[in-house]
């Protein structure tokens, strides 16, 4: 979806500019640049939140990016 429509450079720039929380930026990049699923992201020790929370971060992050992309 979003990862196929925009280049990694464009996505990373948008995420860095519009997602202010460091952990949320990391989650967005893992999903949209690295291609990990919400489950895979939740399983990462450094993320330390459950899959539902990851999905919420991704949804809110996309809403924040909507005006840019």
Length of the chain (residues): 69
Q: Quote the CA–CA distance of 45 and 59 in Å, as a whole number.
A: 21
For the chain, 69 residues long, give each residue's pLDDT as a single digit of tens: 565 677 889 899 999 999 999 999 999 999 999 999 999 999 999 999 999 999 999 999 999 998 777
Element (H, E) at 20: none
pLDDT number for residue 29: 97
Pick the CATH number of 2-65 from 2.60.40, 1.10.3470, 3.90.1640, 1.10.10: 1.10.10
Domain ranges in the chain are 2-65
**What sign has the CA pseudo-torsion 3, 45, 56, 60?**
negative
Contact status, residue 19 vs residue 48, Cβ threshold 8 Å: no
Find tokens 């280049």 and name the residue. Answer: 7
Residue 38: how many CA atoms within 13 Å on its side-chain side? Answer: 11
């Amino acid at each position: 979806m979003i990862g196929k429509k925009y280049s990694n450079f464009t996505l990373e720039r948008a995420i860095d500019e519009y997602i202010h929380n460091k952990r949320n930026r990391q989650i967005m990049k893992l999903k949209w640049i690295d291609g990990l699923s919400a489950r895979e992201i939740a399983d990462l020790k450094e993320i330390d939140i459950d899959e539902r929370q990851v999905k919420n971060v991704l949804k809110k992050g996309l809403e924040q990016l909507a005006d840019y992309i």
